Amino acid sequence: MQTCSFFRVLNRQNQFGERLVSIAFYCPGAYSGRSYPALAPRREMLKMDEATYRVEYQKILNNLDPQKVFDDLGEDAILLCWEASGKFCHRRLVAEWLEKHLGVNVPELVVRHGPGLFDDL
């Protein structure tokens, strides 16, 4: 399992197929992959400061079973949301939650500039 921003893979969706899974509140219009609404933040959370967001998002995670989420998504899933790599985002909160509870590694997908050049696949 990996995480990534929509912007890194949106024009390459066919290369990833069913691996792509949006965990965002809403998806870009051009996105045609799977979604997992249970991991999406609530609308009102989108305007919260980071500290408040973390508290509220943890409440969402506390109501989920990490093993079930992992099984539903699949071990080769790429979890997508809007924020750029390295910025605060809930996909990294999900990754840390899965890593803590399941002992799995959920890195950020590295996409180099240029067509079809990917690391960590």
What pLDDT was estimated at residue 9? 86
Partnered with residue 111 across adjacent β-strands are: 118
At 112, is the pLDDT very low, low, confident or very high (cuts 50, 70, 90)?
Answer: low
> What's the predicted TM-score (pTM) here?
0.87
**Contact status, residue 85 vs residue 4, Cβ threshold 8 Å:** yes
Please name the amino acid found at residue 13. Answer: Q
At 120, is the pLDDT very low, low, confident or very high (cuts 50, 70, 90)?
Answer: very low
Count how many Cα atoms sit within 13 Å of the Cα of residue 66 in the half-sphere of its side chain: 15
Domain definitions of the chain by residue range: 2-119
pLDDT digits (tens, 9 = 90+) for 38-86: 999 999 999 999 999 999 999 999 999 999 999 999 999 999 999 878 8
Q: H or E element: which one contains 42?
A: none
Pairing of strands 20-22, 78-81: parallel
